[in-house]
Structures are given as C-alpha cells and as structure tokens.
Amino acid sequence: MKLTFLGAAGEVTGSSFLVETGEVCFLVDCGMFQGGRDADTKNYARFAFAPATLDFVLLTHAHIDHSGLLPRLVAQGFRGPIHTTAATADLLGVMLADSAHIQQREQEWRQKAGARGAGRPPLYTLPEVNRTLRQLRPTEYDIELQPHPDVRCVFRDAGHIIGSAIIELWVRDGKRTRKLVFSGDLGQPCRPLVRDPVRIAEADVLVVESTYGNRLHKSMAETLAEFTHAVTDTLQHKKGNVIIPAFAVGRTQEILYLLVDLHRQGKLPEMDIYVDSPMALKATEITAKHWALLDPEAAALLQWMKGRRGRPRIHFVQDVLESTELQRIRQGAVIISASGMCNAGRIKHHLRHNLGRRDCSVIIAGFQAAGTLGRRIVDGAKTVRLFGIPVPVKADIYTIGGLSAHADQAALLDWLQHFKRAPQRTFVVHGEQDTAEIFATTIRDRLGWGGIDIPAMHSAIIL
C-alpha cells in the first residue's frame, strides 16, 4: 500500500492524500492551497496522478483548503463518487460555487489591472462546480460504508465545523487489512455550537493535523473576557467599529453565537451586527437545518433569541450595494465578513476603510496561513496594501486564538492519548514545518510513541 502526501505537508493548506494498493486508488481530501507566493502555482499544477484513474474520493469537511480543488479534479476527468457527510455535502453547494465566483471576480480584476496571471483562466467555473455536486454521495456519522470491495470506512464527528469528520478506513491490500485514520481538522473541546471530537481507539496508520500543535489556547473564560473587552472598548469608549474577518462556515456562526450569548448575559451592549457575506447566510441556514448535530446549548440560545424580537440586531448583508453602504458607518458596528484570512472577498473593503482608524479594532479569530494578508496584520505590519493602495495599520489588532476551531496542543495530545496503543506509523500534517516538528517531538516525549514522521510535499510512503 502506498500513501502519497499531495498537500498539507509542511504547511497548513492544500490537504490531499492519495492511497493506492494496486487494486484501489482513492483520495482523502482535495484541497486548495491558500496564502504564499506559490499558492497559485500549486493550484494550477497538473495533478500528480490521472484523475480518471481514481475510484472515489473521501472528504473530511467543506473548508476550501480541504475541498477547493474538487471541481478541477472533475474537470480533468474524475467521474467517481465523492463520499462525505450530509452536512458537508450541503455546505459544498454553497462554498464551491462561492469559490468559483471569487476566482472569476479576481480574474476580472487582474485583467483590468494588468496584474500577473491576467491571461490565465479561473481554476474552474460554475458549470464544473455543478458537475462536482452531482458526484457527491452524502452519508451520516457512524454508519459504515463500502466505497470499494477492498475498502470500508466510517465518518466520525471531528468537532471542527458542522459536518466535519474523522475518517476511519479499513483497506485490504492482498491478504492483509490495515486500518488507516485521517483526523481531518480536529476541533477544540468544550466550544459552542459543535460537539467535541469523537475519540478513536486504534489505528495501524494515523494521519493527524497539527495546526496549533506548538501552542496552547487561552481558557474559554480568558478568551471570552478578551473578546468582550475588544468589543466594548471599541463600541463604547473609542466609538469606532469592530471588524472580524471570519470564514463564512463555522467561524461566523460561532462568533454570532458568542455575541448573542454575551449580550444575553449583559456583558455586551446593544449593537448592530452585520454579517457581510452572502455565503454566511446560506451556511447559517444549513447549520440550522442540521441542528441535531449541534451542542444542546445552541438550541437554548435560539429559543431565547426568538423571544427577544431580533435583539441584538443581526443584519445579513446580501447584495454589493448594501455592502458598499457599510463603508459609510463610522461607529457602533460589528462587521463580520469573509474571507477569514483576509485574502479575498468583502473583508478587504472593510479593512481598507477601518484599518487606518485608531478608533476601530480588528479581531482575528482564526488561523492565518503564511503569506496571507491576515498573517501580515497579525505579525505586526505597519502598512498593508489593499487593492494596490497602501493602508496604515492604526486600528487595535486583537488575535484571539481561543476562538479557533482547531484543537490546541493539549487538546490534540488528549485526543491521541485515547488510542489503546501507538499506531505503527503516525504522520503529522496540516501544520507549518516548525509547528509540525514541535508537535512530533511532543508526541514522542509525552506519549512515548515511535514511528512518527513529518512527510514532505509529494513524498510517497510504502506501508
């Protein structure tokens, strides 16, 4: 059996893993690379295999760094089924279409500005997204399926976003069957909305994420105190706006939950919350559709909101004109907008109009990959360029890691400790190189595991 690491190896984005036995060939995830100067080059590169030869794809969740190249895979000949959870399948209908739209708009801007890559077509089109959606095969958590005579698999709740999954796989290779586990992105336990990650008891081969494998998040109490201070100080004392870059799926819904819950507790004032992302409204509706998958506390808060006649005031902004009008607001607004790493979408406009104001604040609530605009802001840039215009960074910047949807080092180790014995091979992925190295060393030192590797991009391992 051969396992090839086609992405998320020494970096966080582009998750994609190829499994081959000679009898079966399949992918786990097919993600887009995000951030960094070579992201476009990687995304436009030919696949390291013939897409038509794949038997099927297994998808851990809907985030674009795990799913974003699926339409390109289909456009280049893949015709097999894509197995994923029902909630993820619903989200893909929104996220992949939005991805195609963003790429089209970015391409139009490059052509108009004469920027690099102006003559290159978008990665894929909306018709190719629609073809991809027809190949989805939704399943539920904890139900065994057999996508091939030599493969059995089960999707377990990863507690990262709605529909996110850990994938347990039993793959027959000749006379031997081996168990592979792909963690996908693991959520931080005891967070609002989603459930805690399911614990796994055993694996022969484990592929585990390490996004925050080198650090600890603040406690939830400390996180909420910092978040409350950032909002109240900006709205009540500085009299400015709060700008929150957030992924439309997962982050936006959890931030809304926190804003409403903190207001319910009397810790936040009356406020106008603007969710400026058409995709976020659809994602919120899908989240409500799959309410049974959520934490019970979320249902209680929804009931409280129904009796409050729309307070605090939440506005889902849809068309471009409405979005443009937000740029006129000088104070009192909490604006949540995508993309979460600030590299594309409407958030760039809100940063352009608020980042240079000392009375405003920007709350960074999720991971910022190397090379992204969000990472430059987090790293303390004094000036950033937005639409070719230099913008000074004068707003207060709050980086609140405790709001992340990713498990920190302690939570990752706790998840690993529930394996009855160490896997024969453990591969640390989905982390920047230095982070993955720290986490791999921590696993060896704390758990006493051997057989731990940090795979290089395009490396192939014979299992």
Q: List, in order, residues 6 or more apart from 47 with CB less than 8 Å away.
A: 6, 73, 76
Handedness of CA 110, 112, 114, 120 (dihedral sign): positive
> Over 90: is that where the pLDDT of 164 sits?
yes
pLDDT bin (cut points 50, 70, 90) of residue 196 is: very high
- Give the range among 36-50, 101-115, 218-232, 354-368 with minimum mean pLDDT: 101-115
In a shared domain, residues 71 and 176: yes
In a shared domain, residues 353 and 414: no
Q: What percent of the chain shows pLDDT beyond 90?
A: 71
Q: What percent of the chain shows pLDDT beyond 70?
A: 96
Helix (H) or strand (E) holding 146: strand 145-148
> Over 80: is that where the pLDDT of 362 sits?
yes
In a shared domain, residues 51 and 147: yes
User: pLDDT value at position 133?
Assistant: 98
- Reading the block at residue 258, the tokens are 């926190």
CATH, residue 60: 3.60.15.10
Q: Which of 359, 380, 403 is the last residue of a domain?
A: 403
In a shared domain, residues 230 and 132: no
Q: What is the pLDDT of residues 385-401, one digit of tens each?
A: 998 899 999 999 999 87
Please answer whether residues 67 and 95 qualify as being in contact, where contact means their C-beta atoms are separated by less than 8 angstroms. Answer: yes
Please answer whether residues 246 and 366 qualify as being in contact, where contact means their C-beta atoms are separated by less than 8 angstroms. Answer: yes
The total domain count for the chain is 2
In a shared domain, residues 250 and 339: yes
Q: What is the pLDDT of residues 308-325, one digit of tens each?
A: 555 678 888 988 899 999
Domain span at residue 272 reads 220-403
User: pLDDT value at position 306?
Assistant: 58
In a shared domain, residues 103 and 198: yes
> Over 60: is that where the pLDDT of 281 sits?
yes
User: pLDDT value at position 283?
Assistant: 85
pTM of the model: 0.88
User: pLDDT value at position 64?
Assistant: 93
User: pLDDT value at position 144?
Assistant: 97
> Over 80: is that where the pLDDT of 189 sits?
yes
In a shared domain, residues 276 and 195: no
In a shared domain, residues 37 and 145: yes
In a shared domain, residues 240 and 151: no
Residue in the block written with tokens 């509706």: 285
Share the mean pLDDT of the chain. Answer: 91
Q: What is the pLDDT of residues 57-76, one digit of tens each?
A: 999 999 999 999 999 999 99
CATH, residue 268: 3.40.50.10890
- Which residue in 365, 332, 335, 367 sits closest to 351, CA to CA? 335
pLDDT bin (cut points 50, 70, 90) of residue 343 is: confident
> Over 90: is that where the pLDDT of 460 sits?
yes
Residue 378, phi then psi, degrees to nearest 5: -60, -40
In a shared domain, residues 270 and 374: yes
Please answer whether residues 249 and 62 qualify as being in contact, where contact means their C-beta atoms are separated by less than 8 angstroms. Answer: yes
In a shared domain, residues 399 and 409: no
User: pLDDT value at position 319?
Assistant: 87
pLDDT bin (cut points 50, 70, 90) of residue 112 is: confident
